[in-house]
């Protein structure tokens, strides 16, 4: 009887010990390094785009041009009667006035430049060539009676810009692979012009006779005349990959008094460039 009691007591003690061990084991902290889990997958780190370097590209866009020929033709109209009494009786320049004239069309070009990056700030220098072939034609014919007789004056006011080059600085700020920028610089354009005035001054005799030196012509056609001006604008450029960028920009270019012709160009265009 004692033996059975002893065996039962031992069995109960053993069960109690196993239960206590399980409870204590559940509360016991897990040592670091005691479990071997798979390492998390590595994330690829994106390399920042380096804006410094040389690039070469092309553009295509749409240009609106505005031609004013008043300045040159007004001077010619007054000059054709210089030293005569006509200038005291009327203003010849008022007889050759015309409205500004517009032309529009697609333009194409090429550009090359170099950027210097100073942190996120970017300073670049760029040269470009654009083919445009925009032009305008206008003419006037007026006659007036004055105290000394009759005055007739005619004008031709034709101009065409064939192509032009811009040499510009770009100031940008990079947001990773995206860079908005402002640009300004100098421009040189190649023109054909024909700004001329023809005038006659006739007395009131019967029959009427032209005064000495009349009819008279000032001005005339000129080919491949170079005009100079300025350009300014802005845009945004994005790096698609490490050696290819695309851009969208607006550029205003002005040529002042090219043989008496003033031309404004408003261009919206897109472009792409290879970076070296």
- How many structural domains does the chain have? 1
- Which of 159, 134, 184 lies closest to 257, judged by CA? 159
Residues in the chain: 276
DSSP state of 142: E
Hey, what's the torsion of the CAs at 187, 61, 172, 56, to 10 degrees?
-80
Within 13 A of 117's CA, how many CA atoms are on the CB side? 15
Residue 31 lies in a domain: no
Domain containing residue 205: 53-275
Q: What is the pLDDT of residue 204?
A: 81
Backbone angles phi, psi at 11, to 5 degrees: -65, -40
**Spatial contact of 243 and 275, defined as CB atoms under 8 Å apart:** yes
Residue 217 lies in a domain: yes
pTM for the predicted model, two decimal places: 0.77
Q: What is the pLDDT of residue 71?
A: 81
Residue 20 lies in a domain: no
Q: What is the pLDDT of residue 47?
A: 62
Q: What is the pLDDT of residue 32?
A: 53
Q: What is the pLDDT of residue 122?
A: 97
Q: What is the pLDDT of residue 84?
A: 92
Per-residue pLDDT tens, the chain, 276 aa: give them: 444 444 444 544 454 444 444 544 444 455 454 455 555 555 555 567 899 999 999 999 999 999 998 888 999 999 999 989 999 999 999 999 999 999 999 999 999 999 999 999 999 999 999 999 999 999 999 999 998 899 999 999 999 999 999 999 999 999 999 999 999 999 999 999 999 999 999 998 888 899 999 999 999 999 999 999 999 999 999 999 999 999 999 999 999 989 889 999 999 999 999 999
Residue 170 lies in a domain: yes
Residue 1 lies in a domain: no
Residue 224 lies in a domain: yes
We report the CATH number of the domain holding residue 208 as 2.40.160.20
Hey, what's the torsion of the CAs at 254, 257, 259, 262, to 10 degrees?
50
């Amino acid at each position: 009887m004692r033996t059975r009691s002893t065996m039962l007591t031992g069995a109960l003690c053993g069960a109690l010990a196993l239960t206590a061990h399980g409870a204590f084991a559940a509360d016991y902290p897990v040592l670091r390094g005691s479990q071997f889990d798979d390492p998390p997958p590595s994330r690829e780190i994106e390399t920042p785009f380096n804006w410094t370097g040389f690039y070469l590209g092309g553009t295509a866009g749409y240009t609106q041009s505005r031609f004013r020929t008043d300045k040159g033709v007004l001077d010619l109209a007054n000059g054709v009667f210089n030293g005569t009494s006509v200038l005291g009786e009327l203003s010849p320049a008022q007889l050759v006035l015309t409205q500004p004239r517009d032309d529009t069309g697609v333009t194409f070009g090429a550009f090359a430049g170099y950027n210097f990056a100073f942190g996120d700030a970017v300073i670049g220098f760029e040269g470009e060539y654009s083919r445009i072939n925009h032009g305008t034609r206008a003419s006037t014919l007026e006659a007036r009676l004055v105290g000394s007789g009759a005055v007739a004056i005619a004008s031709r006011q034709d101009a065409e810009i064939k192509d032009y080059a811009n040499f510009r600085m770009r100031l940008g700020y990079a947001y990773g692979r995206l860079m908005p920028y402002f640009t300004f610089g100098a421009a040189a354009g190649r023109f054909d012009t024909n700004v001329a005035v023809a005038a006659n001054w006739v007395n009131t005799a019967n029959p009427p006779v032209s005064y000495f030196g009349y009819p008279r012509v000032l001005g005339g056609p000129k080919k491949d005349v170079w005009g100079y001006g300025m350009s300014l604008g802005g845009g945004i450029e994005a790096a698609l990959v490490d050696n290819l960028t695309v851009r969208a920009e607006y550029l205003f270019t002005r040529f002042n008094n090219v043989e008496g012709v003033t031309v404004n160009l408003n261009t919206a265009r897109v472009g792409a460039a290879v970076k070296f």
